[in-house]
Amino acid sequence: MSVLEGKKIVLIVTGGIAAYKTASLIRLLIKRGCKVQVIMTPEAINFITPLTLSTLSNNPVYTQFFDGKTGEWTSHVDLALQADYIVVAPATSNTLSKMASAEADNLALATYLSAKNIVFFAPAMDLDMYKNPYNKENIEKLIQKGDICIPPNKGELASGLEGEGRMAEPEEIVNFIENFIRKELLFYKKKILITAGPTYEPIDPVRFIGNHSSGKMGFEIAKVAEKLGAEVTLISGPCNQKLSNYSSILRIDVISSEEMYKAVDAHYQWADIVIMAAAVADYRPKTVSKIKIKKEEDSFSLPLIKNKDILLHLGNTKDNQFLVGFALETNDEENNALKKLQKKNLDMIVLNSLRDDGAGFSYDTNKITILDKQGNIEYFDLQTKEKVAVNILNSIHVRIKT
């Protein structure tokens, strides 16, 4: 999933030959899940039509303060405030000069000057214009103000010259913006290992010991972690959860607790943060029948043996990992969770109670309490599991920072 998913982009198109590239730029932004609003300077319409960009963006294109046909006023303030990001591409020398000197002689510039969000600009001009010291000074002013310059390429220019000044390609512009946003995210380049779902311990070829875990909580944590810039590995027991639009998450499917143990152990050493949200079976059948067990006796005994305690193993072998466990309790909840945190050398534990309405297995909501090894306790109301995932990851981030 792109970090641009759901973002509102105001694209300011100015009067340069590179304006033709904005058609491809809009298509790429839309594919990343952006909502794009185009504003064109009066000169830009000489290079590409508003109709083209309106069709591609699925929005009307604004070029003037007033609509000559309807007489309606277009608010530059509203346009600026509705955007998550403003992108000026191409940014001609003329527009850069006006941006640097706070001129507002058209709707695009007035919108830029009203912006309180991050502005990206992609210079596009001929070689000598780009190298002109006054143009360089204007670019530096904008950078000092806080605007972000997307560097131009070197190559063949409209004049026939070869050199710097060619606007970055649409793919490069989108990648530049995505990389910039990722660096601002809470878990940029952090490696997070997450487990989710149940484990199934086979009795015979058709039966197993399992539990009611749906995997929803672990999957929501994985999705939110990816949105926050993390490199996520998700190890999941059998469940019906999907990761549509989250192609960067590495998903590893397992069935039994032994398979989960091996998968976790293989990836543990590379992780910065480990969140063990899976409901791993404590016991498994001592022997597994190779054929289906027939229903012949009035009673049936099934000897069980204890599975490896994955969380205890991680706590005993951790180096610099931040280790998070989960506790699902039915009585004496906080005391039992605290004992688990201490026994298994955890940094933080997320407590669920089966006594809370709307919390626990299969629900789309959850109610949690977070305890850490410093003795801090945080209480949260019943929320969607997506919001619970946000709270868990925010709590981890605060503790890592301190």
Catalytic residues: 211
Q: Is 358 helix (H, G, I), strand (E, B) or coil?
A: coil
- CA atoms of 173 and 203, how far apart (whole Å): 56
Q: Which H or E run includes 96? A: helix 93-100
Q: Name the residue among 24, 232, 265 with its Cα closest to residue 122.
A: 24
- CA atoms of 22 and 16, how far apart (whole Å): 11
Tokens of 291: 């054929």
Amino acid at the residue 394: N
Give me the sign of the Cα torsion angle 374, 263, 213, 215.
positive
The structure tokens 């992108």 sit at 87
Tokens of 268: 């543990």
- CA atoms of 261 and 89, how far apart (whole Å): 51
Phi, psi of 241 (to 5 degrees): -75, 145
Q: Which H or E run includes 260? A: helix 257-268
- CA atoms of 105 and 119, how far apart (whole Å): 19
- CA atoms of 295 and 87, how far apart (whole Å): 70
| Residue 387 CB neighbours (<10 A) | 16
For 34, 162, 167, 171, 400, the CA distances from 155, given in Å and listed in that order, are: 30, 5, 10, 16, 45
Vertex 47 angle, CA 42 and 50, to 5°: 60
Pairing of strands 153-156, 162-166: antiparallel
